[in-house]
Amino acid sequence: MKVGDKVDLTIGRISRLGFTVLINREVEGLLYKNELYVKLAEGDEVVGYIKKLREDGGIDVSLQPIGFKKTLVENEIKVLDALKKTEEGFLPLHDKSSPEDIKYQMNMSKKAFKSSIGGLYRLKLIVIESDGIRLVQH
């Protein structure tokens, strides 16, 4: 296994740091709870990615692909899809929204959301209003 590899994860017990996971039904790893934006339960099977191979032999995993560019594009698509699903192409979220609101509505961190809307704004796909973001109609 190497950093960035896509793997199958079986969610194990929760610990103070996060969830223990079984990677490809062979090796144990750790999924940190501060990086989770979806609800998980023991026994769930999800796709993950090798984040770090630690010196102590431990393996850290993530549910998001490793690599800033790939994750940014995926998050931009997620925001666009959410906007398109609304009748008026509007989401009541912006860079001043609480991290909890963003996590609840978009399943991503505030940092990831801000990066995504910044990229979409630069591409002139959205406008940022005082009370949220709006899809630009072409």
pLDDT digits (tens, 9 = 90+) for 26-79: 999 999 988 887 788 999 999 999 999 999 999 999 987 776 556 667 888 889
pTM of full prediction above 0.75: no
8 Å CB contact between 78 and 119: no
- pLDDT, position 69: 58
In the chain, CATH 2.40.50.140 sits at: 6-62
Q: Is 90 exceeded by the pLDDT of residue 10? A: yes
Return d(Cα 106, Cα 118) in angstroms, integer: 16
- pLDDT, position 26: 93
In the chain, CATH 1.10.10.10 sits at: 68-135
- Domain 6-62 superfamily per CATH: Nucleic acid-binding proteins (2.40.50.140)
Q: Residue 71 forms beta bridges with which residues?
A: none
> Span 77-90, mean pLDDT?
91
Which class in CATH covers the domain with range 68-135? mainly alpha
- pLDDT, position 82: 93
Question: Does residue 44 sit in helix, strand or coil?
Answer: coil
Q: Above pLDDT 90, what percent of the chain?
A: 59
